[in-house]
Structure 1
Amino acid sequence: MSTTENRGQFGSKLGFILSAAGSAVGLGNIWKFPGKAYNCGGGAFLLVYIIMVALIGTTVMMAEFTVGRNAHKNALGSFRAISQKWGFAGGLGVLTGFIILCYYCQVGGWTMKYIYAYIAEAKMVYADPTAYFLGMLGANGFPLQGAVIFPLIFLFLTAFILSHGTAGIEKMSKVLMPLLFVLLIGLMIRSCTLPGADAGLKYMLNVDFSTINSNAILVALGQAFFSLSLGMGIMVTYASYLSDEDNLISNTGIVCVLDTLVALFAGFMIIPAVFATGIDPGMGGGFAFATLAGVFEAIPGGTLFGLLFYFLLFFAAVTSSTSIMEGTIAFLIEEKGLKRNHALLGTSVVVFIIGVFYTLSQVYMNIKGIWVSKNGIEYPIFGDFLEYLTDRLLLPLGALFSVICVGWVWSPEKSVEEATSHGRFKFSLAPVYKFMVKIVDPIAIGVIIVAGLVFGMSIS
């Protein structure tokens, strides 16, 4: 096993689990999963989703964990340790994470803006939620708060945490992840006790197998895959900070269970509330920052409910942004020889500049090359292009290369040897894992790529 000197290391199993879970638990769990569950059959979708996480998500994650700990290097270095020709698989993950970080830090800033809004100007939000959201993005002029001030604060916080290396990530995760679960459970209980929420609970708990079709299965597969932060090199990088004494088998299971619980809790937080208020559960930024304002206004104590919700989003955003940036920082330190603080400064500057254009492209920059006209309606293409590029192409490609490399180049047997710490830990499902990572996972990820690119299906 190759090693790299002076690398950080997680101080405890709990620290690693909470850090990895924090990476997996992101905005997509909270504002995408409920909408997909609502549109794809409720309880039936939950069942399919859990199966997809258990079969596909866990095996891809374990493959990435074993690659990272085998080499104790950044994502590119870890794959290159397996084969000189396959370093590009890790490099693609680093690039993908960097692109995602550019718009993720902007959205993280929006969560901080809305925390402020629900403390100081909730009446302005309720007066016209959509106008308030679009105003933050630049509908009424340059979006100083939405593009610069709050995203810059969020980015600084992310960089500050990472300036302390793995110790910073671990300390942050040990504080924010328990708070995230407490907030999520509290909000879920409040939502489920609203008048009329019983219809939403029934919908989420009733399994109607007639609603399970190819589309629901594909959407569940895509959600399970993307919600676990796979294909970005993050899990490879995090696992590289582990020792042989850490049990990758149990760690994989725990991280996947925690991520799934957050998605399920989010579903039971949002769906009963929208049934109680009659508001359609959409997905994405417009839903989280505009549509939900109608829900908060309509329920008793809604302003406090909304404030806690945006704290929840903020916690999910910052635990993910730190992990995404760490993948880039580890690459720059180990491959380019930069000092950590220099790598953080350079990365933050570039991320911020590109991120500003992401926010501007939402509604403000009506210039050629930023907007495209279709059927008389203009759409921003810069921000949409970044999300399309990562969600439908780069992320699944990165994961596809990962499982092909593990299944066909390195071999599942060596991956199992690493997962068990060379026989120290028992892995009774090793034959199943070998078959999944070599045969099933590449096919499943290939289906995601084809569905997203060829058929244009929204699976992420």
Structure 2
Amino acid sequence: MSTSVENRGQFGSKIGFILSAAGSAVGLGNIWKFPGKAYNCGGGAFLIIYILMVVFIGTTVMLGEFVIGRKTQKNAIGAIRELNSKYTWVGGLGILTGFIILCYYCQVGGWTLKYIVGYITESSTIYADPMAYFTGNLLGADRFPVQGAIVYPIIFIFLTAFIISRGVSEGIEKMSKILMPLLFIVLIGLTIRSCTLPGASEGLYYMVHFDPSTINANAFLVALGQAFFSLSLGMGVMITYASYLSKDENLVANTGIVCFLDTMVALLAGFMIIPAVFATGIDPGIGGGFAFATLAGVFMSIPGGTIFGCLFYFLLFFAAVTSSTSILEGTVAFLVEEKGMDRKKTVVIVSIILAIIGFFYTMSQAHMDLKGIWISREGISHPIFGDFMEYLTDRLLLPLGALTTTIFAGWIWGTDNAIQEATSDGKYKFALAPVWAFLLKIVAPIAIAIIIIAGMFLGMSIS
């Protein structure tokens, strides 16, 4: 059973779609991974490489997903099946990937809420020992993590589910129109505050100084991986979002705007974090430990740091919820359209499953001896369940999903059909169509294959 095109939701405006798609692309990785990678890979030189990767690879793959979704007006699985039923599994791979990611993404989203409350009510406790607060109060290193694994993640999942249950225009679009402007306002404000700290000038110089000696193969690989993962590609999300667009929309222009907004968030995050860590002498890291523990030292060291910290976690929350709604929509759209399930019931069922699986993810981050979830070597606990989920999605399923989608769009469905859809059957000009076709068929698949090889077989951290 499937839902007809006439009964599907639609974005009510161009700005609604752009902010929703940008919200999906803008996630936690923009804010807590990009600054650390920019710092470790040469600052200004890395920024240039990163922008080039977004322009040539990111926009290519995103437009490839947009044209598939808008052409068919269906979810990721339905879209691929309509164009060529032999490759339905390509859409299924994307939805599966997004669901697994969402299981732990909602947990981390809950952590942002916990830290917002923490900075408002007990900032002195956080400052006393930031790492102990992260591993103990949040993750429950020495006790059951009720708040970090259950209470706050469930609140976050409820908010995400409520937005999705409202539908496309009343839920996703309205949420994006509110949260995305707020995200930019908070991010710009924090960036200005960071750049005006005593000693921040060294960080600013590092971010704009071009040093050719820092350009190497690793910098290109890291930039490529960051650009690719930052744009929410490979999960079928952009296929689903584009399916809610009318034929009057200029997909080429929209792709450029979405990628521009996502890149601006990453750059602003870099100019927010790097000057601050230079000013305080704290070495930037990458990932959750950096965002939830290390940065507390930065906030503690600057005037008005508690307000600064609280706003930062609001920023993380905005980024998390705009991404979580888009990923959940991909799964819900599939179940509603392909299986004939009621939308609100589907949201409830999926949310419960997310909460249960996500619970084990957070538990696996804590240092508790739970048989079957951890293994311990020489007294050190290893969160093999959580690590496996991240490794499976970041290094295998995400790039594999994007690779198969790109090959499908470029070789199976064909670039001629893709370009015809991208131009709305000739309504809009696409002067670079031959270049895009070459990038889609040749360059992007090779680049994505390199990501897979580097991440899985060379053991390089690219995500």
Q: TM-score, normalised by structure 2?
A: 0.98
Contact 1:44 1:207 in 2 (8 A): yes
Where does residue 269 of structure 1 map in the other structure? 272
2:394 to 373, 391, 394: 391
1:254-290 per-residue CA deviation (whole Å, 9 max, x = no partner) reads 0000000000000000000000001010011110000
Q: One-letter code of the match for 1:199?
A: E
1: distance between equivalents of 2:368 and 2:89?
A: 35
State the shift of 1:192 in Å: 0.4
State the shift of 1:363 in Å: 1.4
Please state whether the residue corresponding to 1:378 is helix, strand or coil.
strand
Where does residue 314 of structure 2 map in the other structure? 311
Contact 1:142 1:364 in 2 (8 A): no
Where does residue 164 of structure 1 map in the other structure? 166
Please state whether the residue corresponding to 2:382 is helix, strand or coil.
strand
Where does residue 104 of structure 2 map in the other structure? 103
Matches within 5 A, 1:415-426: 415-426=418-429
Contact 1:20 1:238 in 2 (8 A): yes
2: distance between equivalents of 1:181 and 1:375?
A: 46
Where does residue 130 of structure 2 map in the other structure? 129
Question: Which sections of structure 2, spanning at least 5 residues, go unmatched?
Answer: none
Contact 1:191 1:270 in 2 (8 A): yes
2: distance between equivalents of 1:388 and 1:345?
A: 28
Where does residue 360 of structure 2 map in the other structure? 357
1:197-240 per-residue CA deviation (whole Å, 9 max, x = no partner) reads 00000000001111010000000000000000000000000000
Please state whether the residue corresponding to 1:91 is helix, strand or coil.
helix
Matches within 5 A, 1:242-321: 242-321=245-324
* Number of equivalences: 459
Matches within 5 A, 1:77-96: 77-96=78-97
Contact 1:118 1:303 in 2 (8 A): yes
Q: Provide runs of 4+ in structure 1 moved above 3 Å.
A: 373-377
1: distance between equivalents of 2:281 and 2:13?
A: 46
2: distance between equivalents of 1:364 and 1:247?
A: 51
2: distance between equivalents of 1:302 and 1:364?
A: 29
Contact 1:141 1:364 in 2 (8 A): no
Where does residue 214 of structure 1 map in the other structure? 217
RMSD: 1.0
Matches within 5 A, 1:113-152: 113-135=114-136, 136-152=138-154
Contact 2:410 2:441 in 1 (8 A): yes
Contact 1:3 1:71 in 2 (8 A): no
Please state whether the residue corresponding to 2:7 is helix, strand or coil.
coil
Percent identity of paired positions between Structure 1 and Structure 2: 71
2: distance between equivalents of 1:375 and 1:210?
A: 41
Where does residue 458 of structure 1 map in the other structure? 461
State the shift of 1:364 in Å: 4.0
1: distance between equivalents of 2:379 and 2:356?
A: 30
Contact 1:358 1:382 in 2 (8 A): yes
Please state whether the residue corresponding to 1:274 is helix, strand or coil.
helix
Q: One-letter code of the match for 1:32?
A: K
Contact 1:63 1:437 in 2 (8 A): yes
1:376-427 per-residue CA deviation (whole Å, 9 max, x = no partner) reads 6331100111010000000000000001001110001110100000000010
Question: Which sections of structure 1, spanning at least 5 residues, go unmatched?
Answer: none
Matches within 5 A, 1:183-262: 183-262=186-265
Does residue 325 (structure 1) correspond to residue 334 (structure 2)? The answer is: no
Please state whether the residue corresponding to 2:6 is helix, strand or coil.
coil
Q: TM-score, normalised by structure 1?
A: 0.99
Please state whether the residue corresponding to 1:297 is helix, strand or coil.
helix
2: distance between equivalents of 1:375 and 1:250?
A: 56
Q: One-letter code of the match for 1:358?
A: Y
Where does residue 156 of structure 2 map in the other structure? 154
Q: One-letter code of the match for 1:43?
A: G
1: distance between equivalents of 2:230 and 2:118?
A: 28
1: distance between equivalents of 2:375 and 2:147?
A: 26
1: distance between equivalents of 2:257 and 2:77?
A: 26
Contact 2:368 2:381 in 1 (8 A): no
